[in-house]
A = this chain, B = another copy of it.
Amino acid sequence: MALIVQKFGGSSVANAERMRNVAKIVTDTYSQGNDVIVVVSAQGDVTDELLEKAHEFNPHPSPREMDMLLSTGEQVSAALLAMAIKAAGFPAVSLNAWQIGMVTDSTYSNARIKSLSDERIRAELNRRNIVVITGFQGINKFYDITTIGRGGSDTSAVAVAVKLGADCCQIYTDVDGVYTADPRIVPDALKLDEITFDEMLELASLGAQVLHNRSVEMAKRFGMQLEVLSSMSHRPGTKVKEVVKKMESTLISGVAKDDNVACIALTQLQDRPGVAYRIFSLLGGAHINVDIILQSIGRNDTKDITFTVAKNTADEALEILEEHKDELGFESMTCDKDVSKVSIVGSGMINNPGIASQMFEALYSVGVNIRMISTSEIKVSVLIDSADSAIAMRSVHSKFFNRNGV
């Protein structure tokens, strides 16, 4: 007998039929003799509908009231799923954040989990109940309701799994695992049986929206094995763990694409110390994350600085830099939003020099121009024109996963 935490996202519980399907998965697991804790998100578009209602009053509603509002979505899901499980003849009880002491900090709409009480959950498990918990939400030290950010139910599930010492934490979603690339772009992408936490973290931050990044970080920190799988298929998914067995041939785990990128270029900056520091501290002060940075020598003792930011923060970045134009002393500023970042990720590349060059070769072979390059121990990212991104992904994927070429 094991203790298994199963998390179901909004699309898995979107309507009564899918809810019954989830109840089936849960009760099958329970029937095999396991203790089962279920963590649920709000149904389908419920969160968006609540957001819309709030915006009828105020485009920027109070974050505290917003969390009070949004947290009802998960409570509805949890109660309905408990009913569906009971209707199938199994014992179940729903619990929300304050009932399990899910304490967070006070950053409304993006709170961090600080602690969790296992008392009530254990009591319900001891009664042989299937315990259905609201994801996404907590309470702060003022006993006010908080939410832990979009996709936060993944993190709720891992937190519960860690606290209760679960044997594994299954994240059910609408894809049946982690693929070597997005199958909508690369049709012959392969599903991975296993992937390491570090690779998953890189893939997640690079645009593969399978798992919430904070959930993977927490699972890695506490060594909680995750499994990503589909609530629709009955196939095994992808296990996310510390160390995985790899075949010789799979030096990389996946190819990811991120379209939420804009590239800002400042030209002919005076080449004096502290200019780069000043630029990025200005942006950092406005909570704008800078990703890839490229500095090159310009004409007449000047330099050019090019960097990427998330597309939705580009306009704010431009405004800030324009305000400080005199101080920074650049000649011109351009912004290109038609760019994409394509990355390969794999812990195997640490010991295999030449992986990057294989990627560049794959891009060259289909005529894709590389604008910027960034590397870490387990990834290589390139910035290219968005128009090239699909062919680039297919060519790179084929290079590493398909011996027959593109």
Contact = CB atoms under 8 A, between A and B. Distances in A.
Contact of A16 (B57, B64, B99): B57
5 contacts: A16-B53, A61-B87, A64-B93, A66-B79, A68-B82
A86 interface: yes
Interface string A362-373: 000000000000
B80 A69 contact: yes
A94 B71 CA distance: 13
B83 A79 contact: no
Contact of A58 (B72, B83, B96, B143): B83
Residue from A16, A19, A56, A57 whose CB has the most chain B CB atoms within 10 Å: A57
A54 interface: yes
Contacts of A87: 57-58, 61
Nearest to A54: B83
Given A57-B19, A72-B72, A143-B99, A65 B82 contact: yes
Given A56-B16, A57-B19, A58-B86, A94 B80 contact: no
Q: Which of A54, A65, A87, A98 has the most CB of B within 10 A?
A: A65
A80 B98 contact: no
A62 interface: yes
Contacts of A283: none
A50 interface: yes
Given A20-B57, A56-B16, A57-B19, A62 B78 contact: no
A126 B81 CA distance: 41
Contacts of A94: 65, 68
A19 B82 CA distance: 32
Nearest to A88: B57
Contacts of A93: 64-65
Contacts of A56: 16
A16 B58 CA distance: 11
Interface of A: 16, 19-20, 50, 53-54, 56-58, 61-62, 64-66, 68-69, 71-72, 75-76, 78-80, 82-84, 86-87, 92-94, 96, 98-99, 120, 143-144
Contact of A72 (B20, B53, B76, B99): B76
A50 B94 CA distance: 16
A54 B98 CA distance: 23
A131 to B, nearest CB: 13
B84 A79 contact: no
A66 B68 CA distance: 20
Contact of A75 (B64, B68, B120): B68
Contacts of A61: 83, 86-87
Contacts of A69: 75-76, 79-80, 83
Nearest to A62: B86
Contacts of A68: 75, 78-79, 82, 94, 96
Given A19-B57, A58-B86, 15 more contacts: A53-B76, A54-B80, A54-B83, A62-B83, A62-B86, A64-B93, A65-B82, A68-B79, A68-B96, A69-B75, A69-B80, A69-B83, A72-B72, A98-B98, A120-B143
Contacts of A65: 79-80, 82-83, 86, 92-94
Contacts of A120: 143
Contact of A80 (B57, B64, B83): B57
